[in-house]
Amino acid sequence: MIYELRIYDCLPGRLPALLKRFSEQTLAIWERHGIRQAGFFTTVIGENNNRLTYFLAWESLA
């Protein structure tokens, strides 16, 4: 299994909209294309509190 780390830094106040888009649209698109998400995380405290971090899981590099 290969894990891909992705990090998005949002403009202040835009993280809720990004999370909504992921839950309502992006995850369904990924499912149709066989892309597996392995975890989503947000930073609650500190300078990076507008950050979305997530992992994608791949069976192989192919």
pLDDT at 46 over 90: no
Euclidean distance between CA atoms 2 and 51, whole angstroms: 23
- CATH number of the domain located at residue range(s) 2-58 in this protein: 3.30.70.100
For residues 53-62, give the mean pLDDT: 91
The predicted-structure confidence for 23-37, as pLDDT tens digits, reads as follows 999 999 999 999 999
* H or E element in which residue 9 lies: strand 2-9
Residue located via tokens 């509190």: 49
